[in-house]
Amino acid sequence: MNTFEYGAESLTVSKVLAIAAGTLQGVLSDASRSKIKTSEAHVQQIVDENITVYGINTGFGILANTSISAEDTLTLQYKILQSHSVGVGNPIPAEVAKIMLITKVQALAQGFSGAQLTTLERLIWHIDNDVIPVVPEKGSVGASGDLAPLAHLCLPLIGLGEVIWQGKTYATRDVLQQFQLQPIQLGPKEGLALINGTQFILSFAVKAVQRMHYCLEAADIIGAMSLEALTGTKSPFDERLHQLRPFTGNQLVAQRLRTILDDSDIMQSHIDCGRVQDPYSLRCMPQVHGASRTAWLHLKQLTQVELNAVTDNPIIFSANDTISGGNFHGQPLALPLDYCCFAAAEAGNISDRRSYLLLEGKWGLPVLLMNNVGLNSGFMIPQYTTAALVTENKTLCFPASADSIPTSLGQEDHVSMGSISGRKLNTVLDNLEYILAIELMSACQAIEFRRPLKSSAILEAAHSYVRSFVSFAEEDRIFAVDINKIRGMISDFSLVQHVDGWAKQQGIALNGNYPEFQL
């Protein structure tokens, strides 16, 4: 198995996901181990020489001016994990908690946090053995670090809290006994280093970057199929047009649509139909999908910066050179996460409009995409679901980062709420996957009314893949079953991967010369 060296190499979204999936192993290089030990020694010197440094020999937050004796410095670090474990709500997905572990190791391994080598080795043990801490979803305000979630994440280090192992939830001590391991003794500053940071926000950002990428890739394929079913034109995707307004996201989507629709019999069959313009939800896909792509790219770029940042406090350069700053503040990710929330919601809005167009009975399609309506409701009601989900997404578009509530008796008087931004974006993406699934179900139904004409080879490959799971509907049935199957193809990325794999076999590059838009 290939390895990644924590603290010595640059972490990317793809590498984080590979480590979480177990296809890449994270290790500590000799260079990283040396940096970690040096930083640990700096902290011990601070304690030995009684140099006043926040969080090492002082209290936390509003208690920063309260001195802590040398003999109590270790107890202080133990207590900070206990006192800050105040998260509530459902546990976050185990994969997100695992990404939190990975990103925490990367931050600490850079040697500016005063963490012990043994602590990092135990965190890596949790990753490698899939012993994943249970982390409640709510309780972080996204500044002073993701304090509550990170406290829960790190409770297992001291033998407390719960972990998920082999698909079940256990008390940490029970699992440590299974592996004949003891809780570790935290060193000075370690509790603070562990809970100070943005790894909760960052981990939801990593998942959002992955999920939104595949949603936007799917949206182009699905939108193109709807356009084909509605006998729309591809002329609005002309390269010359988009050179006149050269937003990169727009140009990418226009190129993808041209490629996806290339050599379609359906497109050729109505070339002289006399229709002047298509509705915006067909004609403006490059502009709307493209704007969402631009938002996604911004989030990806900033997530990449944060993956390799040191975000705890204080930062230890040496025993006599420490800085108590604000690298823990979540605002740099909170804003783009909120921006992507709007972008993902808009991808759902335009998809719902295309679903509606498919039902109207225009341009040779039967009303509600079924021949015997009246007795059958056809595909009318699935669009109710997209309407509900689109509206729910609109209600989730209030930017969490626009709010701030003081904490710690006013010491922490501006917070980012980025943890809410990250969770909220992933909720919008949940809904978007269903919205796209319903459009795809409807488009697959509609395109069969164009037979014996064939669409492009790429869209026929996509259609065949859907039909291997969901059949054409001659009459009403429980469409929720179909919706969930198709949503699964989007949420597990298999639809896009199937189409991309088929295209590569044919020597077709769907994303052309836009490597920045790759995951």
- Which one-letter DSSP state was computed for residue 61? G
Distance (Å, whole) CA 104 – CA 311: 9
The structure tokens 């689109």 sit at 390
* Catalytic residue list contains 54: yes
Give the chain's radius of gyration (CA, Å). Answer: 26
**Sign of the four-CA dihedral 130, 131, 136, 141:** negative
Backbone angles phi, psi at 518, to 5 degrees: -80, 155
Packing angle of the helix pair 13-21, 285-307 (nearest 10 deg):
70
Name the active-site residue from 6, 54, 214, 514: 54
Distance (Å, whole) CA 271 – CA 381: 32
Closest CA to 496 of 458, 470, 469: 458
Closest CA to 46 of 190, 201, 185, 165: 190
Closest CA to 312 of 322, 331, 325, 321: 325
Distance (Å, whole) CA 498 – CA 459: 11
The structure tokens 């206990």 sit at 82
Q: How far apart are the first and last CA of the chain?
A: 21
DSSP codes joined into one string, 203-269: HHHHHHHHHHHHHHHHHHHHHHHHHHHTT--SGGG-HHHHHSS--HHHHHHHHHHHHHTTT-HHHHH
Which amino acids are annotated catalytic? 54
